[in-house]
Amino acid sequence: MTSDDSSRAATLNDVAARARVSAATASKALNGRSDVAAATRTRVLAAAEELGFTPNAVARGLTAGRTSTVGLLTSDLDGRFVLPILMGAEDAFGAGRIDVFLCDARGDAVREQHHLRALLSRRVDGIIVVGDRTDPRPSLGQAIPAPVVYAYAPSDDPRDLSLTPDNVEGGRAAIRHLLTCGRRRVAHIGGDPSYAAARDRVLGAELELQDAGLSFVAPPMLGEWSEHWGRAAARLLFDRHPDIDAVFCGSDQIARGVLDAARDLGRDVPREVSVIGFDNWVVLADNAQPRLTTVGADFESLGRAAAQHLFRAFDDNAAESGVIHTPVQLFVRESTIPVS
């Protein structure tokens, strides 16, 4: 543990004194304003350097009105979404220019209110709200004195701006890939049907099949977001429909379960049956055997987009609104292969 070495941090006045100028001049010099003599500037910069001067962002925030600070209010307990989003946002803001308060409400509305108050009292310039599912979540309301963007979980108020991955398109993309590989007898094993994500993915898949004049060879099986469910459902599926040649899974976890079951039953993936997942959860997808083809949202660019929208709201006072569906992407690995 480290503590104060000098009695107290150097202030602008200290720098000014040492450079034998006024605080005002020192301020201008340090902030690169033009109306200051070159010689003076060097002197001030030298003084600042020697004193290890760090401008006090708190004081600056007081006058400037903006604090160069944003709040990230999350209820994403395990951080699969919030961390990439945070990194994307940091990126877009430019590292170090803006700092991010990360607050975890843990799915508790009261705690969320507490954190919100705290963020507002700290005069954050904007807030990004990150939910842990794509179902609409309660709006923070319109009475917030800072721009707000909802990420992953959209707000239930259309006046808010929300960014959420396009799961319907994701479902389409998955099916499109399977069809491209020459598969025709496709089944679906998905997650908890109380999740919009589970339903949207099936919907997209059904639409894409329909466009090709096809449909699922078995009714979609929705259950829970776990490997266990994937295994159990796959066993049933392979038993009842031995002729399926592809399984579209609602998540990578489920797909891992399906791969397991297929191996137990002696079904060759990807030759006999292709398996595709969803999420691109790399630890899971990359370590599967065979490595898992999957569709996934790019959370970093989602974070970047959220940050850019906040920026826009800082500058223009244009309040955008509505739900924006962000693109998803196909990651081809070895669990799908063209029929040979």
Q: Which residues inside 52-111 make contact with DNA, applying CB under 7 A?
A: 53, 55-56, 59-60, 62-64
Within 12-41, which residues bind DNA (CB under 7 A)? 12-13, 20-25, 27-28, 30-31, 33-40
Residue pointed to by tokens 């605080």: 23
DSSP state of 198: H
List the single partner that 161 binds among a copy of itself, DNA, none, CB under 5 to 8 Å by kind. Answer: a copy of itself
List the single partner that 183 binds among DNA, a copy of itself, none, CB under 5 to 8 Å by kind. Answer: none
Q: Cβ 57 to a copy of itself, closest distance in Å?
A: 4
Within 275-304, which residues bind a copy of itself (CB under 8 A)? 283, 287, 289
List the single partner that 145 binds among a copy of itself, DNA, none, CB under 5 to 8 Å by kind. Answer: a copy of itself
Total count of residues recorded for the chain? 340
Residue 228 binds to a copy of itself (criterion: CB under 8 A): yes
Which distant-in-sequence residues (6+ apart) come within 8 Å of 252 by Cβ?
277, 278, 279, 280, 281, 284, 285, 288, 292, 294
Alpha carbons 228 and 234: distance in angstroms, whole number: 10
Single-letter residue type at 205:
A
Residue 265 binds to a copy of itself (criterion: CB under 8 A): no
Burial of residue 314 (CB within 10 Å: 0-12, 13-18, 19+) is: middle
C-beta of residue 262 within 8 angstroms of C-beta of residue 255: no
Q: Cβ 67 to DNA, closest distance in Å?
A: 12
Structure token digits, residue 210 = 């329909």
Q: Cβ 233 to a copy of itself, closest distance in Å?
A: 14
Burial of residue 109 (CB within 10 Å: 0-12, 13-18, 19+) is: exposed
Within 84-123, which residues bind a copy of itself (CB under 8 A)? 86-87, 90, 95-96, 99-104, 106, 111, 114-115, 117-123
The stretch among 81-89, 187-195, 198-206, 233-241 that binds a copy of itself (CB under 8 A) is 81-89
Which of 24, 62, 109, 212: binder of a copy of itself (CB under 8 A)? 62
The total of other beta-carbon atoms located within 10 Å of residue 21's CB is 21
**Cis geometry, peptide bond prior to residue 84 (ω within 30 degrees of 0):** no
Residue 32 binds to a copy of itself (criterion: CB under 8 A): no
C-beta closer to DNA: residue 64 or 318: 64
List the single partner that 193 binds among a copy of itself, DNA, none, CB under 5 to 8 Å by kind. Answer: none
Q: Cβ 64 to DNA, closest distance in Å?
A: 6
For residue 72, give the H/E element and its range.
Answer: strand 69-74
List the single partner that 39 binds among DNA, a copy of itself, none, CB under 5 to 8 Å by kind. Answer: DNA
Question: What is 267-302 written as a DSSP string?
Answer: --TTTT-EEEEES--HHHHHHSSSPPEEEEE-HHHH
C-beta closer to a copy of itself: residue 154 or 204: 154
Which of 16, 237, 313, 328: binder of a copy of itself (CB under 8 A)? 313
Measure the CA dihedral 269/227/225/281, to 10°.
-70
Which of 199, 256, 267, 304: binder of a copy of itself (CB under 8 A)? 256
C-beta closer to a copy of itself: residue 55 or 193: 55
Task: Tell me how far apart the terminal alpha carbons of the chain are, to the nearest angstrom.
Answer: 63
C-beta of residue 314 within 8 angstroms of C-beta of residue 153: no
C-beta closer to DNA: residue 52 or 338: 52
Per CB under 7 A, residues contacting DNA are 8, 11-13, 20-25, 27-28, 30-31, 33-40, 53, 55-56, 59-60, 62-64
